Amino acid sequence: MYRLLLFITLCLGVVVHAETLEAGFFKISPWAFVGDDGKAKGVLVDFFDQEVAPRAGVQFVWNQPVTPPRLVENLRTGTLHFAPILNREGEERIRSIRFGQNEVVSFHPSLVVNANSVLKNVDRPQDLAGMTVAWVLGANYTDFLEHPDIRVDRTGVPDWEEINLGKLRLGRADAALFSNPYTPRYVAGNNINQFRLLMLPVPPIKLFSVFSPKLDPAVVARVDKAIGAAVANGRLTYYLAKYVSVR
């Protein structure tokens, strides 16, 4: 009897281990970042842990953040099983990893400028001609900034969000690009009145969860179905509101 119970326990242990997914992400506050305790936190971490994991019967183990290219490579090789969001840009990216069917969230690219900036709105790329726009190393940016007279200054450190707002304060950049308007509002905090937010006239970027091609297709289907149900329930806004005003 003891041996039978031990056997069943070991079998269950294997099942639990198989349902544990190594999750990766790139830093984008307040969506996914590292807290003071060194652990992953943020809107997406909360949402997937509390809304998706129970529905799918899995547990996400959150790794430390990496750059988007490294994230894709780790998914391709199976070092990571899952990432909460990524865009579908690039044929090689689409071929090398597996995208979910359900859109998680849409980001609207935004520029942040100093409150006293002469730039009042952006209607076309020429409005930014002669300006330096701060961005992050290793991530794509909107084609809107491909104008030859716009200089994109890429920051290659983990705390790039804070650094780029600092560049604005010091006059080392004329604007800072963010993939969505909530990131600068969260990072600036009580100092947000030092800046102004300008939405770029470009379509929103649709973001989907991604899976390693080495992950069991049955697990992928179960998690993707859970994502669809959780997103349809509108709970993502609830978790976003815990970090920043959604007005």
CATH number for the domain harbouring residue 45: 3.40.190.10
Domain membership flag for residue 7: no
Kindly state whether residues 192 and 163 are assigned to the same domain.
yes
Domain membership flag for residue 247: no
Minimal CA–CA distance to 244: which of 159, 172, 178, 164? Answer: 178
Kindly state whether residues 149 and 137 are assigned to the same domain.
yes
Question: Residue 17 above 60 pLDDT?
Answer: no
Kindly state whether residues 40 and 155 are assigned to the same domain.
no
Q: Band the pLDDT of 14: cuts 50, 70, 90.
A: very low
Domain membership flag for residue 154: yes
Kindly state whether residues 90 and 151 are assigned to the same domain.
no
Q: What is the pLDDT of residue 237?
A: 94
Q: What is the pLDDT of residue 157?
A: 85
Question: Residue 4 above 60 pLDDT?
Answer: no
Kindly state whether residues 100 and 121 are assigned to the same domain.
no
Amino acid at 175: A
Q: Band the pLDDT of 158: cuts 50, 70, 90.
A: confident
Rounded average pLDDT over 81-97:
85
Domain membership flag for residue 128: yes
Output the six-digit token pair for 113: 């400028």
| pTM recorded for the entire structure | 0.87
Specify the pairing of strand 132-136 against strand 205-211: unpaired
The count of domains in the chain is 2
Q: Which residue has the higher pLDDT, 224 or 144?
A: 224
Identify the domain containing residue 229 by its residue range.
21-106+206-240
Kindly state whether residues 44 and 75 are assigned to the same domain.
yes
Of all helices (H) and strands (E), which one includes residue 169? helix 160-170
Q: Band the pLDDT of 91: cuts 50, 70, 90.
A: low
13, 43, 143, 193 from 244: Cα distances, Å: 39, 10, 28, 15
Question: Residue 200 above 80 pLDDT?
Answer: yes
Kindly state whether residues 59 and 177 are assigned to the same domain.
no
